[in-house]
Amino acid sequence: MDPNAQSKAARLTNKVGDLLARGGEKYFSGAQDAVRMVGLTSYASHHAMMGGVVPALQAWIGMQATLGNTFAGALQGKTTLPEAVVASSKRVRAGFRYYELVHRLGPELFGSARFEGEEVLYEDDIL
């Protein structure tokens, strides 16, 4: 075989080997990034679930249990049905008023109080 042809074949083999090595590096680097992204997505979705969805569902179930126990007590004779309805309606009404009272009115009334370590929630020109 011609020595010139052998050197061309060797250069071609080296170039193909380099191409495969670089392609493999890029492929495995991309695969590792994809696995990292799956892990990050799993982590973020877990914290979103535990930070919002799960507590909301637990609160919802707790409210249903409270209302159910109130009416079960009425059926068992511990209270009357009208008393159970009044107690349940007061709980529901308080739940609807919570945001208005705590998040809007509360800072206006108590926001300028200063105790050691307390965060000021609201401040106006008067106080």
Average pLDDT over residues 72-94: 90
**Three-class secondary structure of residue 3 per DSSP:** helix
Q: What pTM value is reported for the model?
A: 0.49
Q: 75, exposed or middle or buried, with CB in 10 Å at 0-12, 13-18, 19+?
A: exposed
Model confidence at 127: pLDDT above 60: no
Model confidence at 61: pLDDT above 90: yes
Question: What would the DSSP string read from start to end of 54-121?
Answer: HHHHHHHHHHHHHHHHHHHHHHTTSS-HHHHHHHHHHHHHHHHHHIIIIIIIHHHHHTT---TTPPP-
The confidence score (pLDDT) of residue 104 equals 76
Q: What are 97-115's pLDDT values in tens digits?
A: 887 777 777 766 666 556 6
